[in-house]
Amino acid sequence: MRTKFRGILTLLLAFVVQLTFAQEKTISGNVTDNSGLPLPGVNIVVKGTSKGTQSDFDGNYTIQVNRGAVLSFSYLGFTTKEVVVGDNDAISVQLTEDAATLEEVVVTAQGIKRERKSLGYAISTVASDDIQEQSSADLGRILSGEAAGLNITATNGTAGSGTNIIIRGLSTVSGSNQPLFIVDGVPFSNNTNQQNAFFDNVTESSRFLDIDPNNIESVNVLKGLSASVLYGQEGRNGVILITTKTGSGKTSNKKFEVTFSQSLFAEEAVLPDYQDEYGGGFHQNFGFFFSNWGPSFNRDISGNSLYRSGGPGNTFVANPLSQLADQTLVTGFEDLAASEYAYRPYDSVDQFFKTGFISNTSIGMTGGNENASFSANYSYFDQDSFTPGNQLTRNNIGFGGKAKLSNKLTFQGTANYTISRLKTPPISASAGSGTIGGGSSVFGDVLYTPRSVDLFGLPFQAQDGRSVYYRSGNDIQNPLWTIANAKVTQETDNIFGSASLTYNFNDNYSLTYRAGLNTYTEFNTNGQNKGGVDGDVTGFYRTIQVRNSIFDNSLILNGYEQLSESLGLTFIGGLNTRRNTYQQEGTYSTQQLAFGVLRHYNFVNQSTVDVNGQNIDFETEDNTIGVYADLSLDYKNYLFFNGTVRNDWFSTLEQENNSIFYPGASVSLIATDAIPGLQGDMFNYLKARVAYGESAGAPGAFSTRNSLALNSRAFVDAQGNVISSNSVSNRLGNQDLKPERFQEFEVGIETRFINNRVGLNVSLFKRNTEDLITDQALDPGNGFTVKRVNAGKSENEGIEVDFDITPWKTENFKWLINGNFYADENVITELPTDQIALTASIGGRPANYAIAGEAFGILQGTAVQRDADGNPIVGSDGLYLATTDIEIIGDPNPDWTGTIKNTFSYKGLKFSFDFQYRHGGDIFSQTAATLVGRGVVDSDNPIDRRGTYILPGVLQDGTPNNIPITSTNVFFNNFGFGPNEPQVFDGTTLRLNEVSLSYDFKKEFLSNTPFGSLSITLLGSNLWYKAFNFPDDVNFDTNTLSTGVGNGQGIDFITGPSSRRYGLSFRATF
């Protein structure tokens, strides 16, 4: 036994000696293309390791490796070349042009770098040139249209508002469907901490707003479960991998380089085309109403009681201030109230909005040598929005570096600090008549202002601070008063970064420890002075402080073995721990004392319960421990197999259910390399791949336990006593709760043909979700009303296509067409109840639901009653009757989406433009219904407003309808504020998303200047769009989502217009 032990010990010592005394040498050389020109930025990697460098501007490189190691040279658009290190200290290579991006090295899960051709699953890469110097500070919106299967929707058009990102459709009913963000190898919180129900306010930012696009080296999107298994349950919705310039760890032979960029943009609101023939009133009678169904401006209205003087086209009426029921509002404006008021069209809405300006300044520095490198970046973003009172500023500073130490250790680290400051007027949901819920809205009372109302010619604030407007009941909050007296702010400080230490046993084996931190604090305020109409008229002020932290630690073992001349093995084993903490506290105050002071001390009542009765103060913590392994085999560099497993333990589940195991596997075959004679000038490249992956979704904290809410200051009674409360939640904990389970199967092909002029990447996938975590109603007699259960299934099948075509290419000119296509069918197959609401139904308007057998997120609302033959039923008032119960009235999921981009390059000049297309997907639009229903915008086929009409349909007794109604009835009562069904529109949209013209100055022009490179770009975004099935003059932008970031789709509650942007940027290196 002792002899056997000594033998084993001897073998172990010999292995350690081999690792320790492997002969290392310095290799240098030059990399050129097939014409002999140097290639800068070529990736030179020691095969099977993370060790590598890049060629400099002149194509030169230096790297330390062991004799016998394999150097892999890869560069975008060129064939990867491998060279075995021998006795020669100089290795220069010439790369030949090949199948575009198919040979490049990409970053995959857990920071693993692999050749694209070895991947058996779909991955999309977005280059830094497509991200930098854009007009938006929001990385999510910049990525729109860049990859198939990536659905990105703005919550509204204001600066700093949240962005909804969905990859390959919705998968969960109760949990988050947002993807995981990974920045420089560690998780980054992409939360949108909505402090309100969406109908109270929807202005909060998504935290990926804190990432500086100018500091991004590359973005890789992992779409399928096979690609994201190594991230455990956090990667179940896809992963957006971001490598920053400060975190890329590139080594360089350059001593020092500075990059400076400056962008300046203007933005304009895309507003409706308002009609200017008719003014305020109803049924062709003039009056100061909320609607615009009054007489023509060229009509004689001398018989109206408000008429004062003049004639058609030059009519004067009583000043609206004189008609206010509460004349105390007019104090100080008596002369104005006594004056006559011109009855004519005013451009109040156009004047309300302004031209916004955007400035983005960035400076970066890099330097180093073959053993160490550093990078630093600072940027400043300032957006003064087209919406008055809306401004976003952001400061980003980042540092990163990498150093190869003398004892086989390599250190790499990055640190980033972001300061974001957002201020904006509130944006509550509007149902077309003021706002819904407990807040006000800058848009809810302005977009449908009657054409005869002079918003800027009337006072908006009484002497005592109250809102003043044109209706006699003063029951509309003046939007100018909202700008002056209602404010929302968000101040965010975000720190994120990572540090890793790698010990290289030799060129084939390494051990890495990586620690990552992302922690941010938010200070949010939402307040309104007393005297308003919307929200609490006594005034309110709410402050909420948030602290969110992610602590991520990983220990990773990497290894590579060349098992034979034809077979290579790469393996990775890892341990990962993740701790998420969220703390929130705040105060909600009402009944303001002194007007104009929004501070808690200036309010009578303070509480830790918000306007909807929800506790503001709470904290959560969840922990996950995971172990994983990844094994890859490559046979003759054309057949690749990858197998992955991970096991997680969750703290939010009971012990018997908190462990979950999920595997993944993929195969990639390069057929053009495997089959002799297949590759040629006509058929250049063919890759087939197949993949399978699983994941899980754990519930949030406290889902398995009953919870008690402690509120030491619930409210103050009439006697001034502070009342405390303790309450048990109505939600019953379920200790049998298990994670949701996801399985996905994916197949695909990637091919290039006709001398690499055409490229095609197609993926087909099918995802099944089981054990959906849903809510089950309980008998209130048991003391609880609801509990979380595992009951439900869904299925999603889809196709993704990425393509590129080069119709014309010469020595100096190139025309490139590239784009993508995506379609899926996402269906709920099983539920424990008839339906589950995904969003709240407010004011009798539609909401998203999960219904077995129907598409995910189907729209339900009131429909037009119909008889057995499908004829609409008309009531005794001549209007369509609404159903008493809600019905399915639309499917918000687009049938398919696509992007096509054209790029023309001539020497240093480049011109490009791209169109985005959305086919189908229904949208409930309160904006369109209200603008047309209130008469400020004409329908596509305007009717004679002075005529009478009979709606097609039958009466309740089955006879044809014969009841005449006015044009006001047709549009106001029937279209604008009748059943929900007519307010749902097909969302098919064509959009000119971006146009750019750039010029890169030639090197010879810069030879006697301090510039290493210089470029200038003219850029326009969202320049034109057409929503084909919406009324033309509404100019509705279908890229909007009033329900905020979450699981809602296709719902609009007048949360504002979008904007078109245009400007220029330049970039220079020194």
In this structure, what token pair is assigned to residue 874?
A: 């008309």
Q: How far is CA 290 from each of CA 49, 446, 449, 934, rounded to the nearest angstrom?
A: 69, 11, 7, 8
- Map 55-115 to HEC letters: CCCCCEEEEEEECCCEEEEECCCECCEEEECCCCCECCEECCECCHHHHCEEECHHHCEEE
Q: Tell me: pLDDT of 713 over 80.
A: no
- The string over 861-898, giving b where at least 16 C-beta atoms fall within 10 Å of a residue's C-beta and e elsewhere, is bbbbbeeeeebbbbeeebbbbbbeebebbbbbbbebbb
- Contact 709/615 with Cβ under 8 angstroms? yes
φ and ψ at residue 3, rounded to 5 degrees: -60, -45
Of 121-130, 321-330, 922-931, where does mean pLDDT reach its minimum? 121-130
* pLDDT at residue 56 in the model: 80
Mean pLDDT of 541-570: 94
The radius of gyration of the chain's CA atoms, rounded to the nearest angstrom, is: 32
Q: Is residue 2 very low, low, confident or very high in pLDDT (cuts 50, 70, 90)? A: very low
Q: What is the pLDDT of residue 813?
A: 93
Interval 873-879 mean pLDDT: 96
Q: Phi and psi (nearest 5°) for 337?
A: -65, -30
Closest-CA residue to 839 (of 756, 924, 933): 924
Q: Quick check: 966 pLDDT over 60? A: yes
Predicted pLDDT of residue 201: 74
Q: Tell me, what amino acid is at 504?
A: N
Average pLDDT of the segment spanning 405-417: 91
Non-local (6+) Cβ contacts of 35 within 8 A are none
pLDDT in tens, 443-491: 988 999 999 999 999 999 999 999 999 999 999 999 999 999 999 999 9
Average pLDDT over residues 13-26: 51
Mean pLDDT of 931-943: 93
Per-residue pLDDT reduced to its tens digit, 717-748: 777 777 777 778 888 888 999 999 999 999 99
- Residue 843 in contact with residue 798, Cβ under 8 Å? no
Helices (H) and strands (E) in the chain, counts: 10, 60
Residue 162's pLDDT is 86
**The pairing of beta strand 123-127 with beta strand 150-154:** unpaired
* C-alpha–C-alpha distance, residues 711 and 30, integer Å: 70
Residues in the chain: 1070
Range with the largest mean pLDDT of 128-137, 243-252, 355-364 = 355-364
* String of DSSP letters for 801-857: EEEEEEEEE-SSEEEEEEEEEEEEEEEEEE-SSSEEESS---TT--EEEEETTSBTT
The residue-averaged pLDDT of 406-415 equals 90
Tokens of 76: 């975008």
Three-state secondary structure readout of 540-574? EEEEEEEEEEEEEEEEEEEEEEECCCCEEEEEEEE
Note whether 887 and 913 are within 8 A (CB): no
The tokens for 382 are 């300032």
Nearest alpha carbon to residue 581 among 610, 608, 552, 544: 552
687 vs 100: CA distance, rounded Å: 13
Q: 213 phi and psi, to 5 degrees?
A: -60, -30
**DSSP character for 296?**
B
The distance of Cα 314 from the centroid of its chain, to the nearest Å, equals 50
Burial of 143 (0-12, 13-18, 19+ CB in 10 A): buried
pLDDT on residue 768: 96
Q: What percent of the chain has pLDDT over 90?
A: 65
Q: What is the pLDDT of residues 654-712, one digit of tens each?
A: 999 999 999 999 999 999 999 988 888 788 999 999 999 999 998 888 888 888 777 66
Closest-CA residue to 577 (of 517, 642, 618) = 517
Residue-averaged pLDDT of the chain: 90
What average pLDDT score do residues 70-75 get? 88
Transcribe 346-376 into DSSP letters: --HHHHHS--EEEEEEEEEEEEE-SSEEEEE
Output the CA–CA distances (angstroms, integers) from residue 121 to 53, 225, 226, 397, 800, in the order listed.
27, 9, 7, 35, 12
At residue 384, the pLDDT reads 96
Instruction: Give the integer Cα–Cα distance in Å for 512 and 555.
Output: 6
Residue with tokens 């309160």: 926
Angle at 551 (CA atoms; ends 546, 555), nearest 5 degrees: 170
Structure tokens at 563: 């098992």
pLDDT digits (tens, 9 = 90+) for 180-204: 999 998 899 988 866 666 677 777 8
Amino acid identity of residue 210, one-letter, is D
- Of 62-66, 261-265, 613-617, the range with the lowest mean pLDDT is 613-617
Tokens 């002497």 identify what position?
463
Task: Compute how many other C-beta atoms are within 10 angstroms of the C-beta atom of residue 1014.
Answer: 20
* Residue pair 861/892 in contact by the 8 Å Cβ criterion: no
State the DSSP H helix or E strand holding residue 723, giving kind and residue range, or none if neither.
Answer: strand 722-728
Across the range 514-529, mean pLDDT stands at 95
Task: Calculate the CA dihedral of residues 196, 197, 202, 206 and round it to 10 degrees.
Answer: 70
pLDDT of residue 103: 54
- pLDDT score recorded for residue 180: 92
The top-scoring range by mean pLDDT among 148-152, 242-246, 955-959 is 955-959
More confident residue, 12 or 328: 328
* 579-611 per-position pLDDT tens digit: 999 999 999 999 999 999 999 999 999 988 888
CA distance 62 to 83: 14
Query: What is the rounded average pLDDT of the residues 1043-1049?
Result: 89
- Residue 207 CA to residue 522 CA, distance in Å, equals 10
* CA–CA gap between residue 168 and residue 224 (Å, rounded): 8
pTM of the model: 0.88
Whether residue 774 has pLDDT greater than 70: yes
Structure tokens at 81: 């070349």
Looking up tokens 């109604």 gives: 965
Is it the case that residue 1061 has pLDDT exceeding 90?
A: yes
Which residue, among 301, 331, 173, has the nearest Cα to 769 in the 3D structure? 173
* Torsion angle defined by CA atoms of residues 934, 937, 940 and 941, in that order, rounded to the nearest 10 degrees: 70
Per-residue model confidence (pLDDT) at position 251: 53
**CA 75 – CA 609 distance, rounded (Å):** 58
pLDDT digits (tens, 9 = 90+) for 793-821: 999 999 999 999 999 998 889 999 999 99
Q: Strands 150-154, 984-986: parallel, antiparallel or unpaired by DSSP?
A: unpaired
What is the Cα–Cα distance from 965 to 975, expressed in whole angstroms? Answer: 13
Identify the structural domains of the chain with CATH numbers, from first to last.
21-98 (2.60.40.1120), 102-269+359-432+481-716+741-764 (2.40.170), 272-352+441-476 (no CATH), 923-983 (no CATH)
pLDDT band at residue 10 using 50, 70 and 90 as cut-offs: very low
Residue 167: closest CA among 111, 218, 243, 219: 219
Does 918 have pLDDT greater than 80?
yes
pLDDT exceeds 70 at position 344: yes
Res 960: pLDDT: 97
Residue 232 sits at φ, ψ, to 5 deg, of: 65, -150
Does residue 38 have a pLDDT over 80? Answer: no
Segment 623-650 shows an average pLDDT of: 94
